[in-house]
Chain A
Amino acid sequence: MSKFVEKSTVISGIGQSDIGRRLFRDPLELTLDACLAAIADAGLTTKDIDGVATYPGPMSVPPGFSGAGVVDVQDALRLDLGWWSGGIESPGQLGSVINACLAVAAGLANHVLCFRSVWEGSAQGTKGRASTMPGGGGGGSFRASGFMEWTLPFAAPSAAPWIALMAQRHFYEFGTTREQLGQIPINARKNAGLNPKAIYTEPMTMDDYLNVRMVSSPLSLYDCDVPCDGGTAVIVSHVDTIPDLRRPPVHVDAVGTALRGRPSWDQFDDLTTMACRDAAAQLWTRTDLTPSDVQLAEMYDGFSFIALAWLEAMGFCGHGEGGPFVEGGQNIARDGGVIPLNTHGGQLSAGRLHGYGFLHEACTQLWGEGGARQVPGNPEVGVACAGGGPLAGALLLTTHR
C-alpha cells in the first residue's frame, strides 16, 4: 500500500439536483435531491452512509451561497455518523471532499456523503448582484472588517475585480490577450451545448465574446460564471467496500491541498498565478502519473482566468504559456484536444455549482456516462480542480488502480 493514503479511497457515486438559473425551490430540497441521487448511484442506502462533509457549511451571508449544512442533512436523512465536517476554511470547495478521503483512509467512516448546494440565482432574484454584495450594497452603519477591510472601501467587493487584477498582470508579463482568454468561455459554451442541464447553451462566437459588455477589464460578462440554483453530491468510499458498490468506482490517485503563499488576493507573491500553483505541484509529488497521462481536465472557471491559471499550474503548459496554449481552442477541445477542458460547460455556461460540478463531471466522463458530450477514447485519467485566489484543491482520478 502506498504511503499516500488517498489511494485507499474512491468516488463511488455522484448526484445532482435540478439545476436552474432561478428555481425558487427550497435549498434543502435541492441538497437532498443531490444527496439521495448520489447514494443511489453508488448502490448504497442511507443506512450505509457513516460520514458527511460539506463546503462551506450553513451561511446566511452572502444570500444563496449555502443551501444546507451537515446537520441539516444528517437530520433530514436520519444518518448515523462516525465522522463529519463542514466549513469554509479548506483547500477550496473540494477541500471538503479531500477531508472525506482522509477520514475514510483513517477508518472513521466507510462512505462519506459530500455535498455543495447553492441558490444564488434565486437569492439575487430580480435585484441583481448588488443585492448580494457585502454590506447589502451600502448604506446604514455597516463597516468593513476582516480581509474585506482592504477591498470594500475601494468599491471592490467582488472576486471579479480581484481576479481581473491578476489577469491584467498576466497580460502584462506574458502578452496574454483577450482573444486567447476568450477561448475558455467559448470552449465552455460549445460543451454546454451538449449538456442538457447547462444554463446557457446557444453558441458563442469570438465576436460575441469581444463585443459583450465589460465587467472589470480585461474580464467581460462572458468571463464571469453564472449564478444558479442546484445541489451536487458525491460519495467517498473505502476501497475495501468496492464489492458493495453498484459499479467499479473512480479511484482517487492523488490530492493537492498546499497553501504556501500569503492567503490574500493582493499580497500573494506572484499575482500571475494563485494558490493553485502549489496545490497542483504537491499533487504531482503524490503519484507516478504525469500531466501527459491526463485525458480530461475539469477546472474551476468562476472566472475564465482561473481556469487558465489551473491549466498552467497543473503543468498542461508552462507558467505564462496559458495564452498561446488555449489560442484557437484546439488544445482544450472536448473532441480531439490535448486536454479536453470543462466538458460540461464549466461554471461559465453550465452554472456556478461552486467547485463540486467539476468533480461531478470528471467522474461522469471517467464512467463513460457523458452522453453527447462524452470525451472520446474511453478516458481513464482525469483531474478535478477547484478554487481561485487563496483557495485551491485538486484531485487526480483514475478508473483503475
Chain B
Amino acid sequence: MSDTAVPDATAPEVPFRILPALTDLNREFWTAGARGELRFLRCNACGYYNHPPTMICPVCHSKDLAPHSVSGKATLHTYTVNHQPWMPGPELPYVIAIVELPEQAGLRLTTNVVNCPHEDLVIGMPMRVTFEHHSDGDDEIYIPLFEPDPQARAS
C-alpha cells in the first residue's frame, strides 16, 4: 500500500464525495488511510472483525474491541458499472463494487473500483486498497477505494 500515491482532494481529478460523519467508532476506518492503512474494529477476545463497527462484539459480546489493520487485499465479489447521475461524484460511468477481504469470510465493503478498464472487471479478481484524500474542516478523511492488485496478477 505504501507505494500507492494518495490523490489530493485539491487536485481537479478528485471527485466530489459525500463524506462520512466521523464518530469514535468509525474514525480509524475513515482516517487511517493517512498512514496507508485500512483498519477495522476487531474483537480482542475472539478476533472477529466487527463491521460496520458497534461497541459490543456480536459473536462473543466482549466490549474489548480495537482498530486493527488488515492487509488491504481483497477479491472482487460483485460490481456494477453505474451510468446514472444520482449525485455529483466520479465521472460517469463509474464502478461501484463489493469486495470481500481475505481476513474473514463475509467481511465486505461497498467501494469504487478505480484504475481498471471496465471491460477488465472479473468477479473474483484480486484487488488492493488505494485511498482518496478529502479535507473537510478539521477532518482528514481517506476514502478506501480498490484497484486491481498487480502483485497478485504477476504471481
Is A144 a contact of B77 with CB atoms below 8 Å? no
Query: Across the interface, which residues of A come within 8 angstroms of B96, CB to CB?
Result: 154-156, 161, 164-165, 216
Bound together, the chains give a CA A152 to CA B79 distance in angstroms of 16
Query: How far is A164 from B93 in the complex, measured between Cα atoms in Å?
Result: 14
B26 within 8 A of A: yes
B88/A143 in contact, CB under 8 A: no
Contact A169 B85 (CB under 8 A): no
Q: Is A241 an interface residue (CB 8 A)?
A: no
Give the chain B neighbours of A390 by CB distance below 8 A.
Answer: none
CA distance A71 to B47 in the complex (A): 48
CB under 8 Å from chain A, chain B span 88-102: 88-90, 93-94, 96-98
Chain A, range 102-143, C-beta contacts under 8 Å to B:
129-130, 133-135, 137-139, 142-143
Asked if B20 CB lies within 8 Å of chain A CBs, one says: yes
Q: Which residue of A lies closest to B79 (CB)?
A: A168
Could you tell me the distance between the alpha carbons of A138 and B52 in the complex, rounded to whole angstroms?
23
* A138 and B78 contact, Cβ closer than 8 Å, known pairs A151-B110, A155-B94, A215-B83: no
Alpha-carbon gap, A145 to B11, bound state (A): 26
- Taking the closest CB of chain B, its distance from the CB of A165, in whole angstroms, is 5
Interface residues of A in 158-173 (CB under 8 A from B): 158, 160-161, 164-166, 168-169, 172
Residue ID in chain A nearest B111 by CB atoms: A154
Q: Smallest Cβ distance from A272 to chain B, in angstroms?
A: 9
Q: Measured between C-beta atoms, what is the minimum distance from B143 to chain A in Å?
A: 6
Q: When A154-B96, A155-B89 are in contact, do A271 and B19 touch as well, CB less than 8 Å? A: no
Please report the C-alpha to C-alpha distance between residue A204 and residue B16 in the assembled complex, in whole angstroms: 37
Cβ contact of A155, chosen from B17, B78, B81, B123, cutoff 8 A: B17
With a cutoff of 8 Å between Cβ atoms, the chain B residues found around residue A4 in the complex are none
**CB atoms of B82 and A168 under 8 A apart:** no
Known: A130-B85, A130-B86, A168-B79. A150 touches B18 (CB 8 A): no
| Chain B contacts for A377, CB-based, 8 A | none
Residues of B within 8 A of A153 (CB): 17-20, 143
User: Measured between alpha carbons, how far is A142 from B112 in the docked complex, in Å?
Assistant: 20
| B62 contacts A by Cβ under 8 Å | no
Q: Any chain A CB within 8 A of the CB of B87?
A: yes
Min CB–CB distance A1 → chain B (angstroms): 39
How many angstroms from the CA of A316 to the CA of B39 in the assembled complex? 43
Q: How far is the CA of A269 from the CA of B18 in the complex (A)?
A: 27
Residue of A nearest to B97 (CB): A165
A48 within 8 A of B: no
8 Å CB contact of B106 from A135, A265, A267: A267
**How close is A137's CB to chain B, nearest CB, in angstroms?**
5
CB distance from B33 to the nearest CB of A (A): 12
Residues of B within 8 A of A217 (CB): 80-83
B82 touches A267 (CB 8 A): no
Residues of B contacting A138 with CB < 8 Å?
Answer: 16, 18, 87-89
Interface centre among B15, B83, B84, B90 (most CB of A within 10 A): B84
Q: Which residue of B lies closest to A271 (CB)?
A: B78
Pairs of residues from A and B, 10 with the lowest C-beta to C-beta distance, nearest first = A155-B89, A143-B21, A164-B80, A169-B78, A138-B88, A145-B21, A217-B81, A216-B80, A152-B18, A172-B123
- Taking beta carbons and an 8 Å cutoff, which residues of A are in contact with B? 129-130, 133-135, 137-139, 142-145, 147, 149-158, 160-161, 164-166, 168-169, 172, 213-219, 265-267, 269, 271
